[in-house]
Amino acid sequence: MKEHIIIKGLGAISPLGHDSASTAAAYTSGVPAFETILHQGILTPIAALRAEAEQKLQELVEANHGYKHLDRSVLMAVYAARQAAMQAGWLQENAPVDDDLAVNIGSSRGATGLFEQYFKAFQQEKLSSSASPTTTLGNLSSWVAHAVNAGGGQISHSITCSTALMAIANGVAWLKAGMARRFLAGGTEAPLTDFTIAQMKAVGIYSRLADHPYPCQPYAAEKHNTFTLGEGAAVFALEKTHHPATGAAIVEAVGLGFEKLVSKTGISAEGINFQKSMRQALTQLPEHDRKIDLIITHTPGTRAGDTAELAAIQAVFGENAPAITTNKWLIGHTLGASGALSLQYALQVLQQQQYTSIPYPNLLSQKHPQSIKRIMVNAAGFGGNAASVVVSLV
């Protein structure tokens, strides 16, 4: 009997919202979540959490004073994970530790805010004893595990911007191997700090469209870089079953790809890593039915990255290429959390059977499928890695 990996719960917090209702409304409205800050004397676009989401994080800290020393990335992960576990029916107050529940939360940059704060303190010879324990990457999964009473495996990792989809891949593998009965997987990122923004500017890809309503423009018709940082987290409650309920979301396939470094960002003009990850995912689908209706691309709004991924899609699918869209024109690039927030978007599109057209001049055909039954989500990161996850509804 066939095994299915289902998404039993989902939690997320992003510039678009703090729960499924607020996020769905934001996607439907198509209003971008960008604002402008002054960074190093230059007006710079970013996508930060809105006031209501900030209030939710503050309430989380007030409910547990042990959280007040944690990095923002950890707080967002805890918030999203509790949402996912609650939706899945796994979160019960005062319940014993669940040794069958494993956790894998990743981040590209980790505790960026605390790292910068503690480094300044180090320069002033006032370093706190909390500096090391609160900046380790393991913080992400261990604090989430405490928050949801998980006693199984706890994994924190970084594979740059493919991080969240790699966590999904780990969850699928652990469940299929019988190493866990339940699995929380996702990504979180809080990169809106002086040093992190400066790093992205140093690469030469950051958007200069500070006064534009869409500073991040994947697939832009004009050939310029519009990379814009955003923050957020998304976590998924995964479970294995032989009998998924009608309407359940299923992770049908996970593909991973890698290519040798050819540039500082690690992607070739042909998008070889994307080609490999998409092809590997497609081979896991039934041989008689490998149709993809929509691809939610990684496309961060950079000339090289966007062009390479579109070239890879053309190479894999040819004339039968699916419709294409992204959410980065609304929330920017959330680095290690981006794949998870794209997967969240994919589930909404599957449920609503619609998505908002990209409003600025772009290279897409703008074709919309009449029925959306299966979506592929792509992500890629520095170092030449890529991941592709295929999801559908029963």
pLDDT by position in tens, the chain (length 394)? 789 999 999 999 999 999 999 999 999 999 999 999 999 999 999 999 999 999 999 999 999 989 999 999 999 999 999 999 999 999 987 788 999 999 999 999 999 999 999 999 999 988 888 889 899 999 999 999 999 999 999 999 999 999 999 999 999 999 999 999 999 999 999 999 999 999 999 999 999 999 999 999 999 988 789 999 999 999 999 999 999 999 999 999 999 999 987 666 668 889 999 999 999 999 999 999 999 999 999 999 999 999 999 999 999 999 989 999 999 999 999 999 999 999 999 999 999 999 999 999 998 877 789 899 999 999 999 888 999 999 999 9
**pTM, whole model, 2 decimals?**
0.96
What pLDDT, on a 0 to 100 scale, did the predictor assign at position 263?
66
Nearest to 338 by CA among 308, 305, 311, 310: 305
What pLDDT, on a 0 to 100 scale, did the predictor assign at position 261?
77
Residue 241's DSSP bridge partners are 4
Alpha carbon separation from 17 to 55, 82, 89, 231, 234 (Å, rounded): 12, 16, 22, 12, 11
Inter-residue long-range contacts of 283-291, CB under 8 Å, 24+ positions, other chains counted: 283/255, 284/252, 284/253, 284/254, 284/255, 284/390, 285/252, 285/253, 285/390, 291/322, 291/373, 291/374
Q: Would you say 141 and 103 are in contact if contact means Cβ atoms under 8 Å apart?
A: yes
The DSSP 8-state label assigned to residue 30 in this structure reads: T
Q: Residue 256: which residues within 8 A CB-CB, separation 6 or more?
A: 166, 169, 276, 277, 280, 385, 386, 387, 388
